[in-house]
A and B are shown apart, each in its own frame.
Chain A
């Protein structure tokens, strides 16, 4: 392995200053970075470990919503009862990543910023309308999750910037979410396609708000805004679900590779979104 310097700053400002230097790479759980280092696909001069930065690890409730430290391991999210109750889909996405061993380290911040089109942690965060708190040399800013990845391995983060935490909006009653992905086996694989659906129901049990996001069907995970709108106002009747599926397929522009053809991925993304919508609806207390 190449020689490189290792820094573990405890403040966000120090971390941003260290990351602004030439050849610096951020490290959270390392489950992608260490593989890239070993393969020689990245040759940083310095690795900046973000896990000691205040706020980078842990889950807290703030102003009625949850704040997730971007470097929090998936296993910690899965063990967080209140987060799992409010956002089961976000937790499903995070805890589907890799093996038990990988879950002990892998984080949502790393999953987002590694910018794989098939990142399982990302679609449910987008559907949740989560935002990122980004720290950089110029201070802090907040941006929607879907604005971070710009293509495979590419992000909109400026030099020195890193994602410190995710903010999930306050959760009303009668609201839930779900994330589903397709892999040809039951564990240890990368999504052929994935879909996250987040629903808020009104007092009459009708969908008041719906957000749908898909993964592995485009260069980045996508918010399918039209698909969400197709679900609003009803109880997920067949016509609404068919409209939602068509809207999902309309935004898909996948590649064909060994995991599936573009046609298959497009079709499956719709099926997964339909099933995830039905699960989220039932979790929110909806009755069709």
Chain B
């Protein structure tokens, strides 16, 4: 079966790759584009480790076929830090020790970014519901929620300045 030529944008850069038609976006990111920050957890949309942002919406990249990426705008964890500076979410995850093994972290960062893009001032309840599709077996979630709310406060301050 022939491969499908896909033209898309990843973290602001135009990219092209040849997708096996049965490959997922996660497969293409990791295996064709060498962007291995996106993790495969369950592979069935339950754990959120593979979360990326597609056209402004957070999705599980394991639940999207690679050819569906044609013409889309994709954001992955590799695009979060800018010019050698960590994104406030990354910085706050470090400060609050919101990770231990780190496997869920790229997905949680991307889901959190989508939250703060849509809602710069979420309540704790809103943040917990938004992130219900991201499983973490290390932290117990509380540190993650503190980090996200703290990053939201910092981003609001940056915007106001």
Contacts and interface: CB of A to CB of B under 8 A. Distances in A.
Interface string B109-121: 0010011000000
Interface string A3-20: 111101000000000000
Contact of B68 (A49, A75, A99, A187): A49
B45 A98 contact: yes
Contacts of A104: 54, 57-59
Q: Which secondary structure characterizes the binding site on chain B?
A: mixed
Contacts of A34: 24, 45, 62-65
Interface stretch (B73-81, B95-103, B126-134, B137-145): B126-134
Nearest to B48: A101
Contact of B130 (A27, A30, A100): A100
A101 B22 contact: no
Contacts of B45: 31, 34-35, 98-99, 101-102
Contacts, number: 97
B4 A6 contact: yes
Contacts of A37: 22
Interface residues of A, number: 31
Interface residues of B, number: 35
B63 A105 contact: yes
Contacts of A105: 59-60, 63-64
Contacts of A6: 4, 21, 65, 67
A99 B68 CA distance: 20
Contacts of A196: none
B43 A101 contact: no
B35 interface: no
**Central interface residue in A49, A75, A102, A186, by most chain B CB within 10 Å:** A102
Contacts of A99: 45, 48, 132-134
B51 interface: yes
A100 B67 CA distance: 22
B110 to A, nearest CB: 9
Contact of B57 (A1, A30, A73, A187): A73
Interface in A194-232: none
B44 A188 contact: no
A30 B133 contact: no
Nearest to A49: B68
A62 to B, nearest CB: 26
B1 interface: yes
A2 interface: yes
A35 B4 CA distance: 21
A29 B68 CA distance: 10
A18 B95 CA distance: 53
A206 B55 CA distance: 46
A4 B133 contact: no
A100 B134 CA distance: 9
Interface in B21-47: 21-24, 27, 43-46
Contacts of B111: 100-101
B21 A101 contact: no
Contacts of A187: 129, 132-133
A130 interface: no
9 contacts: A4-B1, A4-B21, A4-B22, A8-B68, A34-B63, A75-B57, A99-B132, A100-B114, A101-B59
Interface of A: 1-6, 8, 27, 29-31, 34-35, 37-39, 47, 49, 51, 73, 75, 98-102, 104-105, 186-188
CB-based closest 9 A-B pairs: A99-B133, A104-B57, A187-B132, A1-B22, A3-B1, A6-B21, A104-B59, A6-B67, A34-B63
